[in-house]
Chains A and B, each alone.
Chain A
């Protein structure tokens, strides 16, 4: 057998494929089929390559199972054992059903990623079409150095989208609308729900606890908007409110944050005062009997609002930098552990660095010191108004550096100073008029200015095609040049392949294009640069090859 070490999960005999009898093997990572009496597999598919399996309807005479691959190909197996055909097929099906999903995830991920990249990047898609679909290079080669990140399975690389923070006003965005009959309607979008969950983890927890077993999603949100938790200024009415627990949890979180204290000693109001007056001294002592009891209802609701805003802002801020919070928690806990094993003095040792830095920052007068930082180029604004009032429509200009202008002005001035009309040697009038004609638009000498006319001279579809050709050629050349210096056998092989790829490209893509533009009587010059690039690559290849030969001989 081909590979001995593979674990065989199921063997089904008398399975026909392409009218040939044989045996089907289901192994740990692939499904394989070998014809009767032969020692090798003629069909072998990795599970990861299989998109799905199909089976023939029960009533049908032929009992078949079809494997459809991601590439679109399919293989059909016909179970031919008369007595147990159906049983065999079902056993195979069951096992495949268990196996496929395991591999599917991995395959799908890669596939999805490829798909996503192609969708997000139209240029890449075009390139894919030009090179892979037209079979200049194989799909594997194409993806080989594009998907480096995928296999690392580093989510940061794969998912390199920047995390979006949460709007501070997401609750304000849920404008309630009256529905006409004494009710309110809140419009929730998935974004808002996500914002709520990210900002208030307690609500998320409640959600996963209660939805959908106890409440429907709608009920959940209805209750949320009715709750005291949402309207902090309302007075807590009932204790059955499922969110009252959230409020408590928040309170706890807030308290723990408060107890944790602040890291920056300069904003720590508690340790600001050096020596407080003893109790009983001083003019404005806080009135001692102000207990919660004689606080008016309004006052307590006011302070609840204030608390809520502080909490909300803190949570939004934290949600925006979840990672940061996490690491800071980690460091906090690590410093805590170290301060518990030593005595409390250790906490002092952690403090000074932050404190020192902050103090140094606070006493720094950077403008009093001689500058020693690297010189930066400042924006030199001639008209600061234009900077301040935003962009004005840009006129197309030919940009010359100021040095150029100065030079040319000097030059012209110099010329003019030394200009002496030599009336005996002027041109004849016919020669002059022909020169003028040649220099007028459409004249002989003005054809060099066709550069800008190219978009008028060449039809747009040709332009598009040319663009694609450039992109494709660029991609191939990139592959080609990336092989140098050729110092491994693998690279050697690759460079050879790339050379042939380039040649194939020239034959299958470039030449037809050239012919096409010739047929349309366009200047063949259009592809000159492309050819030049290819020639450079070829010559490089030849040099490398001859050198290699010399070395070998």
Chain B
């Protein structure tokens, strides 16, 4: 259908539309018009992605006519399947455009992923791990390797990259929609490297779909996304975890093993320098000259040299020259040694130390006379050296790279970071295992360049409640914040809050565990097909499973359904998942025991019969005893005036909502959501759940006993098993174009968006 959204013609590739989709597009358009940032929460399964794409594509098409133009859409999602899904939806939209307008528009949209998913080199692509693929690829495509080939023709290089480098850049990628597999196909046909082709093509593509890391991790963003146009719209989908992604990309951990490996690296560097000095001293002199001139070459260097990566390169560094103390190679290696020795001495502590970055800098100056300035150039200087020494396998030098990145970060930011040195793990105080955590506490540091650079940034997800917390922790000013609910003619969600407790103090209690077991047992007899149960942590799940096993509860559950359990091994869990789906598919029914915050809870959907019930055992609080978390909470309180408890509850609730939302993936889907903990009934917890869940909580479903829950679910499931009919939905939760245009409906739609 063709929609008119405040004067903008939007092609929507379906015959019907959900009211909330319309409302979503409305808010989105207002955000784009205002050239501002937005936070939009809409439950999953309401066609968020297609609404977003429809509107932004429409916006792009008319951008020449509009004064406010948008040239590019950068769509960031979390997992590879999500990325591919987005591209497929886009393809659908474009096909609809072609059908309706009768012309092929010259839109270029593509997905970008890591080398592991795009490589077509027969040897390289057969490697299993992403890191190996990257390393191998690098050893075939680095600029000096290729330069060596001129001298020595036997030097192996990647023919796909050579071909791309020779021809690929001149010919732009033909317009179209390219998913990962399409890129590979295209690459094979042309004999070009799909990865570099994609990286090159994103500069002029209309729509780019890739993972968060390409924008948020400065090490990668610097390489890939640096030159993307300013007039872009950036969308972070499934963004409820975005703060953690930001923090992760800026934090560093140093263990004794890291330092040992670093020591080896430094020794190797020393030897290589010695060798080069004897054979090719001119090379080192040349490097010295360049360093005097400054770091301008950072921009000139080839894209293939991932050496360029630097956690954060403030502008002033680029303009300055590398300080004299670390300019010669030997001096720099000596400098590294001193730094390393200092770190080693710091790790020899017997009690926990926590200090800020300035304290650390002061200490290092006092102890080993290392100044702040050379530290700041450390990362850059190391890259230059590695390049000069022509070291092929950079994967080997990850330890020294890590240390130098740490040096740069610690000397660049005086705020937002903390250093914690723990001599042992809390659980095993007898075993010395010192770790230096340099942890970022301020997610806004990593995301700041994104907000600054791009015209509009949209943060969207199914669970973003409470909405106001994201602008605060990410430090930006949104023009729109809205939460949309799911309109339904019948409630396809039955929510039960079971009055069981799993407070940290009582959760090892025998009775609590047995009650949980009984709940699961009863549900396994009532619910058809699949049930997913989430626990608060992996250790807790292990303990519960063990005691259920002893009490014979699991055996009884097995009479009803097969049991599959998430393990810490991803491959094993994948297999269990597949078997779980198979068991749901063939009618036997199965139960999956899983962990909140685990991989399953974050990335796997349980549509339709794969998840007819979700049970959340306990409230998934983060492990509060961790010092890093404590430091972060303190920081949040001091900097953003967010109280510890508020943040913890918010964090627990978003994970609970994520887990529970896994089962409902659309309006034709239905399922039970069971929160098995009485703490959920409290106002402070309930209030932090997304609106679309809150709406289903009524007093009748609060504080239920196990028996009541069973009765309620029986009734609900029987009702829901009736056929789903479009006629019942039409006019309420499903609209035709005419219905949409009626005055009354427009009135209603304005109420869907819940502004804050």
By a beta-carbon cutoff of 8 Å, the part of chain A in contact with chain B is 165, 167-169, 171-172, 233, 254, 257-259, 261-285, 287-289, 294, 298-299, 301-303, 305-307, 309-310, 313-314, 316-317, 320-321, 343-345, 348, 352, 355, 359-360, 362-363, 365-371, 376, 378-379, 381, 384, 387-388
**A to B CB contacts below 8 Å, 29 in the list:** A165-B588, A169-B556, A172-B555, A261-B571, A262-B574, A262-B577, A269-B573, A272-B79, A274-B213, A275-B130, A280-B258, A283-B244, A301-B546, A302-B542, A305-B546, A309-B564, A310-B575, A310-B579, A314-B576, A317-B562, A348-B184, A359-B84, A363-B92, A365-B47, A367-B667, A367-B724, A367-B734, A368-B15, A368-B18
Name B638-689 residues within 8 Å CB distance of A. 666-668
Contact of B206 with A by CB under 8 A: no
* Whole-angstrom CA separation of A281 from B252 in the bound complex: 4
Are A169 and B244 within 8 A (Cβ)?
Answer: no
Known: A270-B571, A302-B545. A359 touches B80 (CB 8 A): no
**Which residues of chain B are near A268, meaning CB under 8 Å?**
574
The residue on A at minimum CB distance from B541 is A306
Which 6 A/B pairs are nearest by Cβ-Cβ distance? Answer: A172-B555, A274-B211, A169-B558, A368-B14, A313-B562, A169-B559
A263 to B578, CA, bound (A): 8
Please indicate the chain B residues that have their CB under 8 angstroms from the CB of A263 in the complex: 578
From B319-327, B349-357, B715-723, the one touching the partner chain is B715-723
Q: A278-B402, A280-B253, A294-B428 are in contact. List 17 more A-B contacts (CB 8 A).
A: A167-B559, A168-B559, A261-B571, A262-B575, A264-B581, A268-B574, A269-B577, A273-B79, A306-B567, A309-B554, A310-B579, A313-B562, A321-B586, A345-B120, A359-B81, A363-B89, A387-B718
In contact, A310 and B576 (Cβ under 8 angstroms): yes
Q: Which residue of A lies closest to B552 (CB)?
A: A172
From B126, B561, B581, contact of A267 by CB (8 A): B581
> A378 to chain B: which residues have CB within 8 Å?
723, 725
Q: Closest A-chain residue to B590, C-beta based?
A: A313
The verdict on B603 contacting chain A, using a C-beta distance below 8 Å, is: yes
Pair A274/B210 contact, Cβ less than 8 Å? yes
Taking the nearest CB of chain B, how far is it from the CB of A324, in angstroms?
9
B660 CB, nearest partner CB in chain A, Å: 19
Tell me the complex Cα distance, A370–B736, Å.
10
What is the number of contacts between chain A and chain B, taking CB atoms within 8 Å?
251
Once the chains bind, are A274 and B113 in contact (CB under 8 Å)?
A: yes
Q: What CA separation (Å) do A371 and B726 show in the bound complex?
A: 8
**Beta-carbon contact of A278 and B398 below 8 Å:** yes
Within 8 A of A (CB), among B588-633: 588, 590, 599-600, 603-605, 607, 628
Residues of the A chain whose Cβ atoms lie less than 8 Å from the Cβ of B213? 274-275
Distance in Å: Cβ of B401 to nearest Cβ of chain A: 8
Q: Which residues of A contact B546 (CB under 8 A)?
A: 233, 298, 301-302, 305
From residue A367, how far is it (CB to closest CB) to chain B in Å? Answer: 5
| Cα(A283)–Cα(B632), bound, Å | 11
Q: How many Å from the CB of A199 to the closest CB on chain B? A: 12
Given A168-B588, A280-B258, check contact A306 B571 (CB 8 Å): no
Is B114 a contact of A384 with CB atoms below 8 Å?
no
- B542 contact set on A, CB distance < 8 A: 299, 302-303, 306
The answer to whether A272 touches B603 (Cβ under 8 A) is yes
What mask results when residues 397 to 430 of chain B are scored 1 for a CB within 8 Å of chain A, else 0? Answer: 0110010000000000000000000000100100
Minimum Cβ distance to chain B for residue A410 (Å) = 30
- B244 to chain A minimum Cβ distance, whole angstroms, is 7
Determine which of B81, B437, B558 lies in contact with A172 in the assembled complex, contact meaning CB atoms within 8 Å.
Answer: B558
Contacting pair B556 A384 (CB below 8 A): no
* Residues of A contacting B577 in the complex (Cβ-Cβ under 8 angstroms): 262, 267, 269
Cβ of B398 and Cβ of A280 under 8 Å apart? yes
Residues of B within 8 A of A368 (CB): 14-18, 47, 734
The residues in B between 236 and 280 inclusive whose CB is less than 8 angstroms from any CB of A are 244, 247-249, 251-255, 257-258
A317 B583 Cβ-Cβ under 8 A: yes
The interface of chain B, by Cβ under 8 A from chain A, is 14-18, 47, 49-50, 79-81, 83-85, 88-89, 92, 113-114, 116-117, 120, 122, 125-126, 130-131, 181, 184, 188, 210-211, 213-214, 217, 219-220, 244, 247-249, 251-255, 257-258, 398-399, 402, 425, 428, 431, 433, 437, 439-440, 542-543, 545-546, 549-550, 552, 554-556, 558-565, 567, 569-579, 581-583, 586, 588, 590, 599-600, 603-605, 607, 628, 666-668, 715, 718-719, 722-726, 729, 734
Which chain A positions have C-beta within 8 A of B582? 317
**Nearest A residue (CB) for B437:** A283
Contacts of B578 in A (CB 8 A): 262-264, 267
Closest-by-CB residue of A relative to B589 is A168
CB contact between B570 and one of A167, A169, A269, A313 (< 8 Å): that residue: A269
CB distance from B378 to the nearest CB of A (A): 15
Let me know if B81 and A266 touch, CB within 8 A: yes
Q: How far is the CA of A355 from the CA of B243 in the complex (A)?
A: 31
Contact, CB under 8 Å: B734 / A363: no
Q: Is A282 in contact with B564, judged by CB distance below 8 angstroms?
A: no
A282-B253, A317-B582, A345-B125 known; A277+B217 contact, CB < 8 A:
yes
Is there contact, CB below 8 Å, between A233 and B249? Answer: no
Closest residue of A by beta carbon distance from B401:
A278
Q: Are B252 and A310 closer than 8 Å at their CB atoms?
A: no
Whole-angstrom CA separation of A366 from B668 in the bound complex: 8
**Closest Cβ neighbor of B251 among chain A residues:** A283
The secondary-structure label for the interface of chain B is helix
Contacting B247 at CB < 8 Å: which of A272, A283, A299, A370? Answer: A283
- CA gap between A258 and B577 in the complex, in Å: 11
Complex-state Cα separation, A263 to B581, whole angstroms: 12
CA distance A274 to B571 in the complex (A): 16
A343 → chain B closest CB, angstroms: 4
Query: Could you tell me the distance between the alpha carbons of A378 and B728 in the complex, rounded to whole angstroms?
Result: 13
Say whether A344 contacts B122, CB under 8 Å: yes
Task: Verify B398–A388 contact, CB threshold 8 A.
Answer: no
Minimum CB–CB distance for A110 against chain B, Å = 35
Least distance between B231 CB and chain A CB atoms (Å): 26
Q: Are B181 and A270 in contact (CB under 8 A)?
A: no
- CB-CB under 8 A from B85, the residues of chain A are 359, 362-363
A378 and B727 CA atoms in complex are apart in Å by 12
Contacts of A321 in B (CB 8 A): 586
Among A259, A262, A276, A284, contact of B130 (Cβ-Cβ < 8 Å): A276
Q: A303-B542, A368-B17, A378-B725 are in contact. Are A281 and B248 (CB under 8 A)?
A: yes
Chain A residue at smallest Cβ distance from B128: A270
Instruction: Give every chain A residue within 8 A of B428 (Cβ-Cβ).
Output: 294
Residues of A within 8 A of B122 (CB): 343-345
**In the complex, which of the residues A168, A301, A381 has the most CB atoms of chain B within 10 Å of its own CB atom?**
A168
Chain A proximity of B525: nearest CB distance (Å) = 12
Question: For the complex, what is the distance from the CA of A168 to the CA of B258, rounded to whole Å?
Answer: 47
User: A348's closest neighbor in chain B, by CB?
Assistant: B184
The reply to whether B117 and A280 form a contact with Cβ atoms under 8 Å apart is no
- B217/A267 in contact, CB under 8 A: no
A271 to B80, CA, bound (A): 7
Contacts of B425 in A (CB 8 A): 287
Per the bound structure, the CA–CA distance linking A367 and B729 in Å amounts to 9
Considering only CB atoms, which chain B residue lies closest to A267 in the complex?
B577
On whether the beta carbons of A261 and B16 are closer than 8 Å, the reply is no
- Whether A365 and B14, one on each chain, are in contact in the complex, defined by CB atoms closer than 8 angstroms, is yes
Interface centre among A271, A285, A320, A365 (most CB of B within 10 A): A365
**Contact in complex: A283, B574 (CB < 8 Å):** no
Minimum distance in angstroms from A307 CB to a CB of chain B? 7
Whether the pair B431, A271 counts as a contact (CB closer than 8 A) is no
Q: CB distance B722 to A384 under 8 Å? A: yes
> What A residues does B574 contact at CB under 8 A?
258, 261-262, 267-270
Residues of B within 8 A of A279 (CB): 398, 402
Of the candidates B81, B88, B563, B567, the one whose C-beta lies within 8 Å of that of A303 is: B567
The CA-CA distance from A363 to B255 in the complex, in Å, is 44
B564 engages A313 (CB within 8 Å):
yes
Beta-carbon nearest neighbor of B570 in chain A: A269
Contacts of A281 in B (CB 8 A): 248-249, 251-253, 402
Distance in Å from the Cβ of B109 to the closest Cβ of chain A?
A: 15
